[in-house]
Structure 1
Amino acid sequence: MRLLYAAFAFILAPFISAEELGYSATSDGSKWIITSGSGLVVTMLRSSCDIVSLKYNNQELQYKSANTHINSGLGSVTSSIKTLSDAKKTIQITCSKTGLTQYYFFRPNENMIYMGTYHSKDLQLPELRFLARLSRSVVTSGITAAALDGFDVAVEAEDVVANSAGITRSKFYSGVPHIDDTIHGAFGSKVGVYFVMSPQAYETSI
């Protein structure tokens, strides 16, 4: 069994004022739409729990060619939404399939997505990771050594690639041992997006 926790934080540049949108959870039948009340609007497919839109003060942060999700996506899931009985009226979205349950939590006026993952032996996975695919035109400060533009020769299972000059790069490069990298992210001129990892955020053998 693996139970992992992390938070996905959106930090506003100090010279941009947050727009009050009202804390709410709605659905158009195919998607969950969560509004934080302080500028963050998250849109998630009900059928897969893929995040397809991350808007912050009306600025779209989500990369359009791929979604944000666990691994390559959970595929078909059973999803549900409810408001918890805590003082903050936390909104909980639960996404379940055999061997894995993913939880998303939202709180009023917090530009955060709290996450928890329960993984059992009923689903065999080579790894378990959350992939946030963001627009590089908005979140511009990515690590150069992890950028793969012009690097298209696979060296190691396509996780390490080379260019025509033989220089290698990896999408996993950070320069910090991953287990020590408890806060990591990227930013642009108007917004920063960060993962805040709890001690339980890293997978271990099951």
Structure 2
Amino acid sequence: MKLVVGVSGGSGIPYALRTLQALQAAGVETHLIVSSGAKRVISAEAAGPTLADLNALATHLHDDRDLAAGVASGSFRTSGMLVIPCSAGTLAKIAHGFADSLLCRAAHVTLKERRPLVLVVREDPLPRPALSNMLAAHDAGATVMTASPGFYHAPRSVEELLHFVTARVLDQFGLDVPGFRRWGEPEPTPAQPESIQPEPA
């Protein structure tokens, strides 16, 4: 499997890190695009993952300004794309086909080729324009999710909340995340989500 992973400027970079960790563990080839807005958020979320942490987990890295990259073309075959977190601005651009960056162009290509596109929105409260854009993105063929973990699995840590969202996102691509407890299933043992903290150099 080959997936494009976009990280835009919404708060919630740990969601991106957790997803990349799970994709790497599953042996999925990843093409990572980090927007300029995401880089600013990474700097602001000082206690969270760094850009280097994200880059280290990706198979391939792409500059968001490089509209000539392979992932900008429909002839570049992938299994789909996810944007996590997806900012309100990125959502609006994708919903209305405004492809002024590689991330948005890759999303546009994913829609036009009828491949799965998952947008994980991390913003509250949602004003009417964002709600309208979510509906427009849905109607264009995207799956719109919110970074809202469930609690039926009795989470005991932030890592377990991140694990829940990661598992639900990757469900959209038919990928299983070890240790994920589904509704009605007994608690898994002993698999636990990995820490989001990078290992010391």
With the shorter chain as reference, the TM-score category is under 0.3
Higher helix content, 1 or 2 = 2
Tell which structure's C-alpha radius of gyration is larger.
1
Higher strand content, 1 or 2 = 1
